[in-house]
Amino acid sequence: MLTIRKGADRGVSDFGWLDSRHTFSFGDYVDPKHHQFRTLRVINDDRVAPGGGFPTHPHRDMEILTCVLSGQLEHRDSMGNGEVIHAGEWQVMTAGTGVTHSEFNPSDTEPVHLLQIWLFPDRRGHTPGYGQRLFTDAEKAGTWRLVASPDAADGALPIHQDARVYQTKLAAGQAVAHELRPGRAAFVHVATGAATVNGHKLVAGDAAAVEEETTVTVTGDETAEVLLFDLK
């Protein structure tokens, strides 16, 4: 079974410096039909204007992933981390017992395009943590690159949840497949470009929830970046 979530139907927040599209309920956008998918709680597709950013704010008991698609994002937090996340890099932050952080676009001229992703943790009260890694285009070309997992396998970023997050970069006509174990499901998000997921054509911002299937096949209709969440 495959359920399409069209990008054009997502929630919208526009603050001038921020243009954000919400796949699931977030902030003032509340949609009981699209509140979460299994342990995946948030996918926000954010574009931050030059010099704009999120002032210091708190989080707790959430696994927070940031994927920068273009531009760069400056991060500072109460754990003492102060990093710039560049295009192609992922960041993970375990909010756990509580953290505060801020995120800004340090460029005076270039916007930053990022995905902010939240997963529920496997329990409350984890010690806060931070990680960051570049996943090159070569690592993602025509294959599923594991970027986050509970065991941090193959250099993936660690998360406290039985979920595995993959990213691929496809050329037109290039295809990748992912096998789903019994009882597991996938959420596929097209970040850029256009792709066909199990026969359904999607464009940037579209997503598909896949349940009761054994295989997820994604084919690039044009150059595309696609994320896949393998969830219990």
Instruction: Give per-residue pLDDT as tens, 42-98.
Output: 999 999 999 999 999 999 999 999 999 999 999 999 999 999 999 999 999 999 999
Residue 75 has a pLDDT of 96
Return the structure tokens found at 115: 């995905």
Residue 104 has a pLDDT of 96
Residue-wise pLDDT for 48-59, tens only, equals 999 999 999 999
* Residue carrying structure tokens 């039985």: 162
Give the HSE-up count for residue 14: Cα atoms under 13 Å, Cβ half-sphere. Answer: 2
Q: Which residues have C-beta within 8 Å of that of residue 50, sequence separation ≥ 6?
A: 105, 107, 108, 109, 110, 111
How many Å apart are CA 105 and CA 74, to the nearest integer?
6
Residue 67 has a pLDDT of 98
Phi and psi at 178, nearest 5°, equal -135, 125
How many Å apart are CA 225 and CA 169, to the nearest integer?
5
Mean pLDDT of 127-146: 98
* Residue carrying structure tokens 């243009």: 19
Return the structure tokens found at 35: 């509140």
Return the structure tokens found at 125: 């009260």
- What strand order describes the sheet that includes 112-119? 11-14, 18-22, 40-48, 112-119, 63-70, 89-94, 129-134
